[in-house]
Chains A and B, each alone.
Chain A
């Protein structure tokens, strides 16, 4: 038996939380409410079983709490994803762990990070057209094969998840962590890989102006990836909290705006005119070339759509949680681009001959897959202090509460140390 946090959705609770956190006060108290109402429980349960020989058991060293986890806990995630989830499951997909079984080329006891996507490879099925070309995050088979439905580890009943003392992972999901990389940095690799992926989803021309909405984990890492992989010109960041401002500056933001000021400030920076609709938020005729929505909120997406220039591009990096007015998309002829998880390939540049394999493939542009790049970024970037709140599983209510209020509390990433008592 192992100690694990288990998500057992009850529709009534799901809706109740959603209503409670939908108000202004509820939003501010989301941590408290989620802590008390979340369909989560700490249990002793059977260890997850290895579905095959190319799987290993993992002992998590640190497991991060992601925005998508929080969305799940306060009932704000879209029911759209329910077919790709199997119940009951243990959340946790940002993991640095130690392997407990021998695998070819990966001795037992190796320190690894995990690509959580449960694509054709782990599922032991014939690769779909996406997996065949190294684009696992688009896999069409996330409900089939040898493990239960689940878009990722952390949403799948059979694999277990990071918020526990033990889970299982397929060899193709694992990437060895260099000895020099601390656990605190390694646990950031998965979200960094997602950021690398999102930046690779669009062509960012040299000198292009970029707007980042949000300066939490997703926003900051997107900024990091933009400065690493593109020749973007000015990058403007919309940040709510003071510490985010300082961190964004450190990672190369040109200017950081408070949300309330963003339309005016961006207009000053990029030209154009500010428009005030009779109802609803201000928007620009003019604005940034490309925007990345990194908050996972409807307000953030709406801001992005309103502040990119005509013909510009909005990349949705945060998991969106509700609808927005798409009129600007239509009227300004915008491109709306989704960016989910990470892969081995890239933005449509790879041929069909790239196999699906555990080892990193080199992309057509000569760079590594998203995870490989993320590992080197995690080692080199100024990320000290990004994980400054680590909780044992037993204090999960505090951990979740802290994660909900992370921005306000000056924290970037909250994590569990499942081994801790």
Chain B
């Protein structure tokens, strides 16, 4: 009995990590159809944000430090959502309906982000800020001109050139005269560690085994996020707009729905959820520039198996993949068959896969087989969005 509960708990806890990581993608990929390969990096951004918030809270002393994780959740959401918003406005909105270009562009963005956390320092931040100030400030001023439409392309080219020149020159200048503190990378390429507050360390002993509090926290967080997303999509005004736009974009525009705003908001929401997921996974291990990569394949897998565009499917898929993964990886499946002598080869077979990395191989194989039978996933979407 306790073994069963333990297996279920561990499976659900692996599943809930998968699920919280996949939730944002279920919106961005599932609802909007955008293949965002930088989704993992948005998670990583959330994880690094948690690290920064933790360092800000450290000097504040005991009662405050215990609570930093609760602060870092909304901060991670906002940071990732803002970055997602910039990504949508700056890159992805030009690529709607062009999956290959989106794939390549977002892959590029993921590489940039990975390098960004490796080398980010005050100098880089200042240079980027100056560039944005020059470029967008200049745009705002030039837009007031009456003949803006005619000079638009020229103006953008020249502004781009001038702003980069100014920010690069400033960068060199600061590099010459500035102190080392300005050019020292914030995180460096090595992994950083988020220390869980004491109330998340240890575990809850029940029936002879232990449920780690950090895992319980992630399960609770996943449930809250799921309920929040469900409420937002099905009960709020913006949720209705999002559903309308994902089901029939051109008719939604003909109803007066600002589709461009809806796209931006949807993407920001999905990205923000990636940030929250990043905050959650930072509790499970150290965080590095490649953290996002560890999750990107899994998250796409969960969304595809669940049936693209179906939140409920994503939940079922996340939990089942988690449970199957645990049953195989822990050798529980092999144990079931040991009692029967004639099933010896089967036991050997499952024992072979009873490590976490081999379990992944087997889960992958199972999923590929499953998708041969049901290519549209567990809960295929009916209607016109499915035909796209």
Partners in one complex: no
Which chain A residues have a beta carbon within 8 Å of chain B's beta carbons?
none
Question: Which B residues form the contact surface with A (CB < 8 A)?
Answer: none
